[in-house]
Every structure is written in structure tokens, then in C-alpha cells.
Amino acid sequence: MDTLILILQLFTSLPINKRVEVSDERLIRGVALWPAAGIIIGVFDALIFWAAVHILPVSIAAALALLGELWMTRGFHLDGLCDTADALFSSRSRERMLEIMKDSHIGTFGVVAAIADLAFKYLLLTASGMPIFILLAAPTAGKMVQGLCMYKANYPRESGLGKSYIGRIPLSIAVVSSVFGAVWVIGSLIAGIVWTGIGCRTAIGFPVLLLFVIVCFLLAWLFRRHMEKVIGGMTGDTLGAASEIIEIFSMLLMVALEGVL
């Protein structure tokens, strides 16, 4: 239970005041529960949208849901995306890019990345026929790939929070995290398809959703490989960037799948 509390304290703004001892072992075990944080964030977003859409236009409900996510996550992964964008588009040396990621200031490319991130999410939510279920699934999709991004990855810095678990999680933790997240994502989408009546060709539904999850993992793997070539491994910032990228990409695929199923 303490491990779950630690993960929720790390990834959400839930008012959990219990003091939990932070250790490398607990952080490593906690990776298996990262999707649980995604589930809670997704449920929170979906509840905001559901409550708002009864009295407000869909566009406003979508905006409120995204603002709710920013509050719930404190922009934790979005900050990682901004820092990663500033570093990658600086076209500097590997060492300088790692320094840029640690800089607390956000540069031009970071601002552009944040605007693009929120704009894409907003557009995809308003374009979807099952936005509540996309909100349930997308945050967990971003978390389910983290085990793959960390397993046997190199941490290119001498110190940092990421050094506690990046490259140190066992295969079992990576698999549990991935399967846990994938089951929730697929289940949320099946529920959305059934509830909204969007999908009528159920015979191809599950294989298509399974392929959807595989594509998300493939994109995460390609992102990790690119980071290994550019900065020499994965950091906390690049994990955050991976989470945001996969979240948006999964939302895009979900909207596209609505026309397939």
C-alpha cells in the first residue's frame, strides 16, 4: 500500500499526507503501479467531462477536462516534454542537451511543445464520438509504455531521481506494468465501443485494439532508441515526453479506430 501511495504522491495532486519512506527498491517496485496513477487521472478527467457536458458545449467540457488533468498531474509529464523539446531542438552537443533539460526555464521550443500537446488533445477530444472513454484510456496508455522505456535503458547522468529506477527495473516489473496498463486501455475502449454503439463489427474489434496497443509500444520503443542515439539514454524528462507523446498518439489512433470498428 505504501508503494501505491508513493506513486500517487509522485504523479498526482491528490491530498495524501501520509509520509512514505522513499527508497530505490520501493521506486523500482512502484513502476508496476504507474498505470494505476494513469487510471486515476483518466477517471478524474472523464468525470469532469461527464459533469460539464450535461450543461456546457462539448468544446468547453473538453477544455475543462484538460485543465483538470493539468491540475491533477501538476503538469509533471508536460514539463518533461517541454524540457525534452528544448534540448532536442537546440541542436547542441549531448552534454549541453542534458544541461538544457535540467534548466528550470522553458524555452521557445518547450512552449511550442506544450501548446501543440494541449491543442492536439483538445482537437481529438472534440472530434471523438466517445470522448469519455478516450479520457479513461489515454493517460494509462502513456503510463503502460514506461516499463519498456526503462527496462535495461541507460541513464546518461551521474545523479537524479531517474537513476533510482531507469535501467534497474527487472523484466517482471516491466511486464506487469505493461500488461496492467494494456488491459485497462483495451477494456476502456471496448466499453466505449459497446456503450456508444460506434462499433458494429465486433469480430474484428479485439484484434484491432490489440494491434493498437502494439503500435503504441512500438512507437515508445522507437522514441527510446532515438533518445539513446541523441543523449545516450533515458532520463526522467524523456520518460515524461514519452508519456505525453504516446497519450496523444493513442488518442489519435482511438479517433481513427472509430471509423474502422
CA angle 49-133-67, nearest 5°?
35
Tens of pLDDT, residue by residue over 69-96, are 999 999 989 999 999 999 999 888 888 9
For residues 256 and 261, give the distance between their C-alpha atoms in angstroms, rounded to a whole number. Answer: 9
| DSSP secondary structure string for all residues of 99-144 | HHHH-SS--HHHHHHHHHHHHHHHHHHHH-S-HHHHHHHHHHHHHH
**What pLDDT, on the 0 to 100 scale, is given for residue 17?**
83
Residues comprising the chain, all counted: 261
Low-confidence ranges of the chain (pLDDT < 70): 197-205, 260-261
Radius of gyration of the chain (CA): 18
3-class secondary structure, 201:
coil
Residue 8: HSE in the Cβ half-sphere, 13 Å Cα cutoff: 16
pTM of the model: 0.92
